[in-house]
């Protein structure tokens, strides 16, 4: 095993341990962070495409598409886990917002519009900020 393989295995093990030990509240926070990270990756790829010659741009187009696809998958995971029975109005509003974000990400992917990525990232940051304000005594309420 070379050093890169060892580092990858370490990261994978650390991530799985963090997921296994996380409360539902922490898992949502991790998903929000993951979506924000993927959007940042896509935004960076778009910036590199705009500055690059044709040879380098091809690889960045794939990077952009993969990152946006992963962000969409994460947002969809957040959407499908909403509890519409306990938080009907809030869950409905979040579901609509997640749907909107997905459409904006798809459009950003097609048009290479970094502003759309920033818009979605800003919305996710607002959700994350609100999520971080949930009182600790409610963090394990859904377990």
Q: Give Dmax (Cα) for the chain.
A: 54
Q: Using alpha carbons, list the distances in angstroms from residue 69 to 1, 76, 107.
A: 30, 10, 12
CA gap 24, 8 in Å, rounded: 26
> What pLDDT sits at residue 55?
61
Q: What b/e string do you get for 20-56 counting C-beta neighbours within 10 Å, with b at 16 or more? A: eeeeebeebbebbebbbebbebbbbbbebbeeeeeee
Band (pLDDT 50/70/90 cuts) for residue 7 is very low
Question: Which tokens is 134 given?
Answer: 């949930």
> What pLDDT sits at residue 15?
52
**Given a cut of 70, is residue 130 above it in pLDDT?**
yes
> What pLDDT sits at residue 143?
46
| Residue 25 backbone class (left: φ over 0; alpha: ψ -120 to 50; beta: rest) | alpha
- Identify the weakest region by mean pLDDT among 3-17, 49-63, 120-134: 3-17
pLDDT in tens, 80-128: 999 888 878 989 999 999 999 999 999 999 999 999 999 999 999 999 9
Give me the chain's average pLDDT, please.
Answer: 85
């Amino acid at each position: 095993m070379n050093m890169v393989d060892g580092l990858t295995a370490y990261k994978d093990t650390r991530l799985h341990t963090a997921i296994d030990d996380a409360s539902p509240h922490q898992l949502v926070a991790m998903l929000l962070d993951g979506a924000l990270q993927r959007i940042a990756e896509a935004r960076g790829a778009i910036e590199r495409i705009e500055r690059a010659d044709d040879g380098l741009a091809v690889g960045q187009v794939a990077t952009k598409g993969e990152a946006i696809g992963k962000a969409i998958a994460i947002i969809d995971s957040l959407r499908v886990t909403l509890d519409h029975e306990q938080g009907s109005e809030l869950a409905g509003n979040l579901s609509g917002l997640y749907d909107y974000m997905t459409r904006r990400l798809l459009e950003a992917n097609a048009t290479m519009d970094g502003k759309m990525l920033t818009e979605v990232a800003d919305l996710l940051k607002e959700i994350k900020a609100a999520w971080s304000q949930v009182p600790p005594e409610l963090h394990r309420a859904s377990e």
